[in-house]
Amino acid sequence: MFDAHAFSVSSSSSLSLDSSAAPAAEPVPFPLGGHGWTAELADLFTPFAEAGLVPGRLARVDRGRADVVIADPDSGELRTVRADTRAVGSAETIENPCTGDWVALDLGRSATARGEGDEPLAAVAALLPRGSAIIRKSAGKASEGQVLAANIDTVLIAVSLAGDPDLGRVERFVALAWESGAQPLVALTKADLVHDAEFVREDVERVAPGVAVLVVSAETGAGLDVLRACLGTTTALIGQSGAGKSTLTNALAGAQVMTVQQTRDVDQKGRHTTTTRELIPLPGGGVLIDTPGLRGVGLYGGEGLDQAFAEIAELAEECRFDDCSHRSEPGCAVQAALADGTLPQRRMDSYLKLQRENEWIASRTDARLASERARVWKLRTKGARDHIRP
Ligand code: GDP
Ligand code: ZN
């Protein structure tokens, strides 16, 4: 479907704004295929294409500017262009453009603002509807969500084998992954440092029903082939700082694309932050999204929680009362499972803790947010249509 050069993303952001440049006579068949572009998306894109816009995927977004991967309309080769995203939003909300979003890009229409120096800017005219998204509670504004990555097939959760794994944290990441609409996958990293990886793997597997748990070492390469085979077209990598995400990214990408820990920026509060958030093409096809370490992960909705704690949700179906709180009600199947030891108390505590957190976030969240989340993409598409046919 797409050839090898489809993965050579040019880092050059040079862009011709010559609007007289005619589109290529022969459309190149999905050179963005390695980035997840599908016939379905192409279909959806038809009206935008007719309006002279080109599809692109956001590789990085920062204050009204984005790096966008496109297939050059002339050569068909992939390259990265700078674009103005302000037409589709720039405040920190879940409706904001983010890494992984598919956009309709206007290469010909010179934006009012110029880039750094004399760099020409393209303009993001519309966002395509998202298939999935990782959303976290914003650090400052408790009621607003922040989208970290969109259109993800796999959420790869990196957990270091060096040191005791924090099972509560794993559960939280797994719930977040389910919540995003993607398939979670756990990679236990730094296997070369430990001897009891298999025991840990079993422990983690128990707290992550329906999720494959793999043991890998970026250092020795052990387990990487199996991991590659388990990744979807777009994989978002999450995990605690120091879990080995950058090292794993480099190992999977086969290149030094991420800077490992020591050279990271330190923000005002003294925390290490990754300043680049990128869409990294993988040699075998597909892309990896490496987002900054997820701190203060919040959950939206709650379906993710029920999937992450599937065995509890299943038990709850057996409770005598539909609205059983699983605390002191008679005929509670969850309490019964706790009593006979089939459900570990630790697991139940985690569930209740995340549930409380979820409720807290929900109570702090604008009540319209959930429904707007579903509605916003329709508006976006409508907005794009208006843009096309004023
Ligand atoms: P990140 O914060 O999740 O991106 O973690 P890094 O990739 O920066 O890794 C944190 C530390 O763990 C670094 O010192 C890495 O060299 C080390 N590390 C990462 N992967 C491995 C591994 O597979 N084996 C060993 N021994 N060390 C690793
Ligand atoms: Zn119950």
pLDDT in tens, the chain (390 residues): 333 333 333 333 333 333 344 444 444 457 898 899 988 899 999 999 999 999 999 998 888 889 999 998 888 888 899 999 988 876 666 778 989 999 999 997 544 444 445 557 899 999 998 888 887 765 455 456 678 889 999 999 999 999 888 898 899 889 888 888 899 999 999 999 999 899 999 999 999 999 999 999 999 999 999 999 999 999 999 888 788 988 999 999 886 665 543 333 444 444 334 445 478 889 888 999 986 644 445 555 566 788 888 899 899 989 998 888 888 889 999 999 999 999 999 999 988 888 777 665 554 444 444 444 444 444 444 444 454 443
Instruction: State which of 192, 238, 260, 277 you would mutate to test the pocket of ligand 1, scoring each by most atoms of that ligand within 8 A of its C-beta.
Output: 260
271 lines ligand 1 (CB under 6 A): no
Domain identity same for 106 and 146: no
Residues 141 and 260 in one domain: yes
Q: Which of 259, 290, 321 is the last residue of a domain?
A: 290
Site to probe by mutation for ligand 1, drawn from 157, 193, 247 as the one with most ligand atoms within 8 Å of Cβ, is 247
Q: Tell me, yes or no, whether 232 lies in a domain.
A: yes
Atom 17 of ligand 1, nearest CA residue: 244
Whether 214 and 239 have beta carbons less than 8 Å apart is answered as: no
Specify if 331 maps to a domain. Answer: no
Considering every ligand atom, which ligand is closest to the CA of 242? 1
Regarding whether 142 and 28 lie in a shared domain, the answer is: no
Residue 247's CATH number: 3.40.50.300
Tell me: do 148 and 227 sit in the same domain.
Answer: yes
Contact residues for 244 (Cβ-Cβ < 8 A; gap 6+) = 158, 160, 189, 190, 218
292 Cβ closer than 6 Å to some ligand 1 atom: no
Same domain for 15 and 108:
yes
Same domain, yes or no, for 143 and 90? no
367 found inside a domain = no
- Are 181 and 80 within one domain? no
Question: Does the Cβ of 242 fall within 6 Å of ligand 1?
Answer: yes
9 part of a folded domain: yes
Measure Cα distances from 151 to 287, 333, 341 in Å.
11, 37, 39
Domain extent, residue 39, equals 4-127
Q: Which residues, listed in sequence order, are joined to residue 186 by a DSSP beta bridge?
A: 157, 213
- Confirm if 320 and 266 have CB atoms less than 8 A apart: no
Any ligand 1 atom below 6 A from CB of 216: no
State whether 220 and 195 are in the same domain.
yes
pLDDT of res. 307: 84
* 280 C-beta neighbours (distance < 10 Å), count: 21
Q: Residue 11 in contact with residue 38, Cβ under 8 Å?
A: no
Q: What spacing in Å lies between the alpha carbon of 209 and ligand 2's midpoint?
A: 20
Q: Are 221 and 142 contained in the same domain?
A: yes
383 in any annotated domain: no
Closest ligand, as measured to the CA of 159: 1
Asked if 168 and 284 sit in the same domain, the reply is yes
- Contact 264 CB / ligand 1 (< 6 Å): no
Domain count, the chain: 2
End of a domain among 90, 109, 127? 127
Environment of ion ligand 2 (residues, CB < 5 A): 319, 324, 326, 332, 334
Domain-located, residue 168: yes
So what's the pLDDT on residue 377? 44
**Confidence (pLDDT) at 117:** 52
Kindly state whether residue 147 falls inside one of the protein's structural domains: yes
108 plus 236 within the same structural domain: no
285 and 142 belong to one structural domain: yes
245 lines ligand 1 (CB under 6 A): yes
Give me the CATH number covering residue 18.
2.40.50.140
Ligand found nearest the CA of 343:
2
Which of 127, 146, 170 lies at the terminal end of a domain, its last residue? 127
pTM greater than the 0.85 cutoff = no
Is residue 390 included in any domain, yes or no? no
Rounded distance from Cα 327 to ligand 2 centre (Å): 7
